[in-house]
A = this chain, B = another copy of it.
């Protein structure tokens, strides 16, 4: 992991490690420019030509790092989709609320939001995007999965509860409102969602 094996340098999250400092600087400049272009114009606006023009990095260098624009976008999406770790309280309701609020911040972060929209569009068309979707989907749901599984183990939630279904019920409303209906989230939205999720499941 992390060595300068050229094949590995496209793998999610390991790219760039093991490059010399100048190559690392041009790679970072190219990714920053590509990130701006992606947010402004969507993935079709990210090409070797547009990234070269915006970053000042030569096209030859760009082609060396990323022989295809889709490779650059793939790597970029994996870096843009950021989820901060949330501190746990050990109390189920509070931890679910904390985790959902963190997911809501992801949906309101312009970089993560754009990344998610691009991935939803492209995943069924291109396996490179499907790979990023799967990585981001894990990153976005791992915390919640852990909370639900621990509660099932400790008796706070029924053992027979399907964790994937629980995740759908908790994150689905946030995604629907943010990406489709485009409405705001009142302060009470998340606590009320958690309460309506917990009520049928807890005595």
**A residues lining the B interface (CB < 8 Å):** 41-44, 114, 116-118, 120-125, 133, 137, 141, 164-165, 167-169, 171-177, 179-183, 189, 192-193, 195-197, 199-201
Chain B residues closer than 8 Å to A169, beta-carbon distance: 169, 173, 193, 196
10 contacts between A and B (CB under 8 A): A42-B121, A123-B182, A137-B180, A141-B181, A168-B173, A169-B169, A171-B172, A172-B173, A172-B174, A172-B177
CB closest residue in chain B, given A183 = B164
CB closest residue in chain B, given A181 = B137
Chain B residues closer than 8 Å to A177, beta-carbon distance: 164, 168, 172
Contact of A200 among B117, B168, B173, B200 (CB under 8 A): B200
CB closest residue in chain B, given A177 = B168
Most chain B C-beta atoms within 10 Å of own C-beta, residue among A42, A168, A182, A195: A168
CB closest residue in chain B, given A138 = B181
Contact of A164 among B44, B164, B172, B181 (CB under 8 A): B181
Contact of A176 among B117, B175, B200, B201 (CB under 8 A): B175
CB closest residue in chain B, given A197 = B196
| Contact in complex: A182, B133 (CB < 8 Å) | yes
The distance from the CB of A180 to the nearest CB of chain B, in whole angstroms, is: 6
Q: Tell me the bound Cα distance from A44 to B47 in angstroms.
A: 13
Chain B residues closer than 8 Å to A173, beta-carbon distance: 165, 168-169, 172-173
Contact of A172 among B118, B175, B183 (CB under 8 A): B175
Chain B residues closer than 8 Å to A193, beta-carbon distance: 169
Most chain B C-beta atoms within 10 Å of own C-beta, residue among A123, A175, A183: A175
Further 20 A-B residue pairs, CB within 8 A, beyond A42-B121, A120-B179: A42-B122, A42-B125, A43-B121, A44-B44, A114-B124, A118-B121, A121-B122, A123-B182, A133-B180, A137-B181, A165-B189, A168-B172, A168-B177, A168-B181, A171-B176, A172-B172, A172-B176, A196-B200, A199-B199, A200-B200
